[in-house]
Chain A
Amino acid sequence: MARVSLGSAWGKGNIVHTVEGRPIPELPDLARMHRERSDRIQEQLHAQGLAGLVLLGTSAVSYATGAAQPGADSARAGLFRPVAVVVTGEPAPHLFTPYPEGAPGDLPPDHVHPPAFPDLDEGAAALATAVSELIPRGRIGIDELPHPLRAALAHRDVVSAGSVMVPVKLRKTADELACIRIAQRCNELAMCDVMPLLRPGVRQSTLTATFLDRLHELGDVSNGIDPIWQPMPASVAAGPWTTHGDIAFPTGSTGEVLRSGDVIWCDTGIHYEGYASDFGRTWLVGAEPTARQRAQYERWQDVTDAVLALCKPGVTALDLDRGAIAANGGTKPWIEHFYLSHAVGTDSAEMPLIGTDLGETFDEQQVLAPGMILVLEPVIWEDGYGGYRAEDIYAVTDDGWVSLSDFPYDPFARS
């Protein structure tokens, strides 16, 4: 990391937070992280009886290979995509990439290949040939089959790569947690520069410009989502129509001018070494919170505290749902189309997802374990009076949890 001091504090005091006995390091050991991710993939490949993987999605390729690519919109990231081919029994993955400069140093040079274009007929045929050389027989796990590749691999037995990729990503290693912590730190530092701009008359686009500028000054990171600066209405009815009658969030930013007293729900996310941050706060434009708004924040803090009080290995996701609901007076404190909590990893939202429409039985089967990530994002809503939303990242440790976020709740902080 250039130009950014991360400080030395991992939480407060001298508590050493460990995951499977290993302290979370200040800086990740990237070679060890790549090796351990590869080990996990190999273990699952064996367990699932797969001969290999072909991965096309940005987050999956990043996880499997550690390869970097420039932050890009989905169209470009699709057409000019790095592709990973993982062979069962062969620890080093193969990387086909338009960005050879992004291949990690620990990848053998003969495993870095020219770009594949699996979305184009001739590119898909060439990739299929390479796959048949690398994985001559057996069942292949794959995350996406653009039609040209589907045709080129028609003779092969292919299944979803999810049976491998979901379990390997579920519990982070100490190095992965360090990456998430650094991503979050950079995200937070960039938001420090945005906060003072929040005065009447500022445009959303100005906030974004400042955020992106500071972000890239901080280090080797890329932006993950168009920053959200959403002025919230006082009531659901005053906001956009929704399919479920709940709040519309998050909606995209424009050049909208923010006005005095606007309640802004902001939500930003960036990537460091492939790992996503997730920043969410409620801010006010040129105003101090009213007593009611302060009370909404206090309620949010109560819900968060109640969930964290339960948080340790062995507890189920359903326990967390129930704890959050109880702390909110019996009402579900999250938005209908979202969740109480999700994880981040090389995806900005990944398992465990807690409180979704997958249902109570699903949540009861999700048992917290060391290395799991909880991005708690309760929402307190009082229809007619708006609401408070913030989110912070926590990691489940061997004996509890540790916060990977460190940002104040101004201007609401508990007195």
Chain B
Amino acid sequence: MTGLLAQQESGQIDMARLRADRRRRLFDAMAAHGLDALVLGRAADVAFASGARQLWTAGARPFGPGCVVVASTGHVHLLSTWDEGVPPEIGHDDLFGLKWNPANLLGSLSAIPGIEQARRVGTDSYSPGFEQFLAAVAPDAEIVDAGPALGEARSAKSEDEVALIERAVAVAEAALTAMDDAVEPGATERDLMRAYLAAISRLGCMQPPTEGVACATPRSGPVTLRRLTSERQLGPGQLVVLNPSALYAGYEGGLGRTVAVGEVSPAAARLAARAREVLDAAIDRCRAGARGADLRSDDAAVIAYGLGLGVEAPVIGADVGGDAELRSGMVLSVQAWVAEEGVGGVLQRDAVHVVDGTPRVLSRYRSELV
């Protein structure tokens, strides 16, 4: 037996080619930014650099070394006690095991060839005390923000990466169908979440990017888009936001639609049309060279964020990301949210590939309320 588990499902994508391309982009970006080494802690950055399949856990954890990339040797070193799920280009000598004792971790990192000579070490985050820790490994190193280099390497996707995102979108669309089937008077938001989780799991994409996928919007009083699902029961005429995402081989795709429970009122139909109009206009402005502020609208709340190995920069909203520049090759999740007291709220969200020219919408699903 060579392993207990399969490599990541590839979806007929040549994963070796995809990883080689990512690695080339990473080392190019390191060279362009004068980085001798990277110490990465965030799961998505570790996945990008190593291609390894990591155990999915919920939540954000403080920074710690999970992957070390050394420019002079061209090696990617990975925190992994075993070679299961580790691609063949990362050899056994490139793995360092899990330690609880910082002194032992220090020993593992110090043994990495080329790290001691590093002068500029980029990290994807930082924690108080890490400077002292790194000084014991690379005495002459200055710690710098690897963010710009990582952003450069990660944001413009290869065709293979976009194909994986498109597959994730397809899984999310399947989940949306399952959720839509579960919409009926008396069902709860949590029932819709269950339909979502069951659908993505059965398609082999068991890790939800977020469990916040359903929001029954109120028909009276202030309307806000809630992400925490509740036991609220759906009532006739209510507008329900279905907002699923999925991860396919690590890549995220998703879309959002709003459906009505039973009859669609004329006011609800007008709201839905406005959301779609605003979203279509925002999508049309997702072109290379555009700024985040170009996506905003007076008629709806437009939010956009990058998609790749999970969500990533840029984040564009009412108060952030106005200056963010859209670049060719980026994939964005773009959404428009409109709400009206006495009617409810409508969310429309699509995945958009920024290219030179007309943006490519990766999601395809009807936008009507029924």
Chain A interface residues toward B at CB < 8 A: 2, 56-59, 68-81, 98-102, 114, 117, 119-120, 122-123, 142-148, 150-151, 158-160, 205-206, 208-209, 212-213, 216-217, 220, 222-228, 230-231, 233, 238-244, 248, 250-256, 271, 337, 339, 348, 353, 356-359
Contact residues in A for B315 (Cβ distance below 8 Å): 79, 117, 120
Is the CB of B87 closer than 8 A to any CB of chain A?
Answer: no
Contact residues in B for A248 (Cβ distance below 8 Å): 4, 81-82, 84
Question: Which of B27-35, B155-163, B202-210, B337-345 lies on the face that meets chain A?
Answer: B202-210
Q: Is the interface of B mostly helix, strand, loop or mixed?
A: loop
Greatest chain A CB density within 10 A among B6, B146, B202, B231 is at B202
Contact residues in A for B62 (Cβ distance below 8 Å): 56-57, 143-144
- B58→A73 contact, CB < 8 A: yes
User: Contacting A102 at CB < 8 Å: which of B83, B197, B228?
Assistant: B228
List 5 other contacts, CB 8 Å, given A75-B312, A243-B92: A57-B61, A77-B58, A144-B127, A145-B63, A147-B125
Contact residues in A for B206 (Cβ distance below 8 Å): 205, 208-209, 212, 226-227, 253
Known: A71-B211, A117-B315. Contact between A56 and B60, CB under 8 A? yes
- A254→B204 contact, CB < 8 A: yes
Tally of chain B residues near chain A (CB < 8 A): 79
- B101→A357 contact, CB < 8 A: yes
The 4 closest A-B pairs by CB, nearest first: A75-B310, A70-B212, A58-B59, A209-B201
Known: A73-B56, A120-B315, A357-B101. Contact between A254 and B61, CB under 8 A? no
**Complex CA distance for A122 and B227, rounded to whole angstroms:** 24
- In the complex, chain B residues 28-62 whose Cβ is within 8 Å of any chain A Cβ: 42-44, 53-62
- A72→B211 contact, CB < 8 A: yes
Contact residues in B for A78 (Cβ distance below 8 Å): 42, 60
- A69→B82 contact, CB < 8 A: no
Is the CB of B247 closer than 8 A to any CB of chain A?
Answer: yes
User: Contacting B129 at CB < 8 Å: which of A70, A160, A238?
Assistant: A160
Is the CB of B25 closer than 8 A to any CB of chain A?
Answer: no
- 29 sample A-B contacts, Cβ–Cβ < 8 Å, listed by A number: A57-B62, A58-B61, A69-B228, A71-B210, A72-B59, A74-B44, A74-B57, A75-B252, A75-B312, A77-B58, A79-B312, A120-B315, A145-B127, A150-B145, A151-B145, A159-B128, A159-B129, A160-B127, A209-B202, A216-B190, A216-B193, A224-B57, A225-B56, A225-B58, A239-B4, A240-B4, A241-B82, A243-B81, A359-B101
User: Contacting A76 at CB < 8 Å: which of B9, B55, B204, B310?
Assistant: B310
- B228→A70 contact, CB < 8 A: yes
Q: B295-329 toward A: CB 8 Å interface, digit per residue (1/0)?
A: 00000000001000111110100011100000000
**Complex CA distance for A228 and B207, rounded to whole angstroms:** 12
- A73→B128 contact, CB < 8 A: no
Known: A74-B43, A205-B204, A216-B197. Contact between A233 and B1, CB under 8 A? yes
Contact residues in B for A102 (Cβ distance below 8 Å): 228
- In the complex, chain B residues 61-91 whose Cβ is within 8 Å of any chain A Cβ: 61-63, 80-85
Distance in Å: Cβ of B151 to nearest Cβ of chain A: 11
Contact residues in B for A150 (Cβ distance below 8 Å): 126, 145
Is the CB of B264 closer than 8 A to any CB of chain A?
Answer: no
Contact residues in B for A145 (Cβ distance below 8 Å): 63, 125-128
**Complex CA distance for A79 and B59, rounded to whole angstroms:** 11
Contact residues in A for B312 (Cβ distance below 8 Å): 75, 79
Distance in Å: Cβ of B178 to nearest Cβ of chain A: 11
- A256→B320 contact, CB < 8 A: no
Contact residues in B for A240 (Cβ distance below 8 Å): 3-4, 82-84
- In the complex, chain B residues 89-145 whose Cβ is within 8 Å of any chain A Cβ: 92, 95-101, 104, 123, 125-129, 145
**Complex CA distance for A331 and B353, rounded to whole angstroms:** 57
Closest to B245 in A: A76
Known: A223-B58, A225-B58. Contact between A144 and B97, CB under 8 A? no
Contact residues in A for B95 (Cβ distance below 8 Å): 243
**Complex CA distance for A75 and B128, rounded to whole angstroms:** 21
Contact residues in A for B61 (Cβ distance below 8 Å): 57-59, 74
**Complex CA distance for A205 and B6, rounded to whole angstroms:** 13
Distance in Å: Cβ of A253 to nearest Cβ of chain B: 7
- B99→A160 contact, CB < 8 A: no
- B313→A120 contact, CB < 8 A: yes
- B53→A74 contact, CB < 8 A: no
Known: A150-B126, A160-B129, A226-B207. Contact between A238 and B84, CB under 8 A? no
**Complex CA distance for A100 and B319, rounded to whole angstroms:** 17
**Complex CA distance for A75 and B307, rounded to whole angstroms:** 10
Contact residues in A for B311 (Cβ distance below 8 Å): 75-76, 79-80
**Complex CA distance for A159 and B127, rounded to whole angstroms:** 9
Known: A240-B82, A250-B55, A251-B85. Contact between A337 and B198, CB under 8 A? no
Is the CB of B360 closer than 8 A to any CB of chain A?
Answer: no
Is the CB of B274 closer than 8 A to any CB of chain A?
Answer: no
Contact residues in B for A222 (Cβ distance below 8 Å): 58, 211
Closest to B146 in A: A147
Contact residues in B for A148 (Cβ distance below 8 Å): 145, 147
